[in-house]
């Protein structure tokens, strides 16, 4: 039993490690992610000017869209891109660090204080599984998007779908871990992990097939249909609408009035988001593992036992 790892040490170390990892993620995000956000905001502003004219034409033709609601900016961009991101990242890291600490404490409880891996490796595996189940897998269905992506009237539905995906992913991962432990008692651990992992992937694939794509939400299909056509005649191109990413704005003849959202900005934002989340989850687990491994164990200053007196004395 790892006696010297009290609950207080585990949770305090997890919180501090997560906060440090969150600050490192903020530095990464401030340098690489924030410029992509600014590009998305610039695109949104330029597109809004064009869409105002198109909406006026649609209104004249009797086509009505939901009102977007007031655009209220509580904090300036300077605060958002510095203090705002830093506060959010540090608090996120602190929360995830505590989750890693909770998972590590459960592992110690289940294994009676004797996990099969070292402290560092155990925490690294926990951080890796947390990153995969909380962010990576849900993002395969509903990836992170910068500003200008998504219609204002679907924001609540999109948020609920993403939250449902995260909760299901975490629950399936916990069940997979439980299944792997049970199977490891009757077969090789390697095969037990493979079977449990396959069950997790299968469950998430079924969930992905059931949940709708963002472009297929009821209000989106009501106002935009299920496909869009560019050009006319033999040069016309029709593509399905399966996302809320802004497509090119066109006039009634299909001519493009304003381009769609830049693919490079979207891909870089999503890639950097994956890396930033990895810095938080894996960084917190590595820092926590190194910290706990260096903590002193049982006291070594106890007086040695007295030597037995020679026989006959």
Q: What's the average model confidence in pLDDT over 175-183?
A: 94
Which of 199, 144, 137 has its CA nearest to residue 166? 137
pLDDT for the residue numbered 245: 87
> What DSSP state is assigned to residue 245?
S
pLDDT bin (cut points 50, 70, 90) of residue 63 is low
- Whether the pLDDT of residue 65 is over 70: the answer is no
- Whether the pLDDT of residue 127 is over 60: the answer is yes
pLDDT for the residue numbered 313: 37
Six token digits for residue 255: 């001519």
- The partner residues of 249 in beta bridges, in order of sequence, read 258
What is the distance between the alpha carbons of residues 14 and 12, in angstroms, rounded to a whole number? 5
The answer to whether the CB of 203 falls within 8 A of the CB of 172 is yes
What is the distance between the alpha carbons of residues 200 and 208, in angstroms, rounded to a whole number? 12
Find the range with the poorest average confidence among 31-35, 40-44, 236-240: 236-240
The answer to whether the CB of 176 falls within 8 A of the CB of 200 is yes
The residue assigned the tokens 């191109």 is 237
pLDDT for the residue numbered 47: 82
- Whether the pLDDT of residue 170 is over 90: the answer is yes
Phi, psi of 229 (to 5 degrees): -120, 130
- Whether the pLDDT of residue 53 is over 80: the answer is no
pLDDT for the residue numbered 67: 58
pLDDT for the residue numbered 212: 92
Phi, psi of 83 (to 5 degrees): -65, -40
Of the chain, the percentage scoring pLDDT greater than 90 comes to 53
């Amino acid at each position: 039993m790892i006696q010297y790892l009290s609950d207080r040490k585990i949770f305090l170390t997890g919180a501090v490690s997560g906060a440090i990892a969150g600050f490192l993620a903020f530095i990464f995000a401030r340098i690489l992610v924030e410029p992509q956000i600014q590009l998305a905001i610039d695109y949104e502003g330029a597109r809004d000017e064009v869409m105002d004219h198109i909406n006026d034409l649609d209104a004249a033709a009797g086509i009505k869209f939901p009102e977007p609601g007031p655009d209220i900016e509580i904090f300036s961009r300077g605060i958002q891109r510095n203090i705002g991101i830093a506060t959010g990242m540090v608090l996120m890291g602190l929360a995830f660090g505590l989750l890693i600490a909770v998972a590590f404490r459960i592992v110690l409880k289940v294994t009676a204080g004797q996990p099969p891996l070292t402290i560092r490796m155990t925490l690294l595996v926990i951080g890796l599984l947390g990153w995969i189940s909380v962010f990576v897998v849900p993002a395969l269905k509903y990836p992170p998007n910068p500003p200008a992506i998504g219609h204002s009237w679907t924001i609540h539905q999109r948020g609920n779908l993403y939250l449902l995906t995260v909760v299901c992913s975490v629950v399936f991962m916990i069940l997979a871990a439980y299944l792997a432990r049970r199977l490891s008692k009757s077969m090789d651990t390697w095969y037990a992990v493979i079977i449990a992992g396959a069950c997790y992937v299968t469950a998430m694939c079924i969930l992905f097939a059931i949940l709708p794509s963002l472009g297929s939400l009821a209000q989106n299909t009501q106002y935009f249909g299920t496909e869009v056509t560019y050009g006319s005649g033999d040069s016309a191109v029709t593509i399905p609408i399966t996302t809320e990413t802004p497509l090119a704005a066109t006039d009634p003849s299909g001519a493009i009035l304003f381009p769609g959202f830049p693919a490079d900005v979207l891909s870089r934002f999503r890639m950097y988001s994956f890396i930033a989340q990895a810095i938080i989850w894996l960084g917190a687990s590595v820092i926590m593992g190194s910290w706990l491994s260096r903590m002193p164990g049982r006291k070594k200053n106890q007086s040695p036992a007295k030597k037995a007196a020679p026989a006959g004395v």
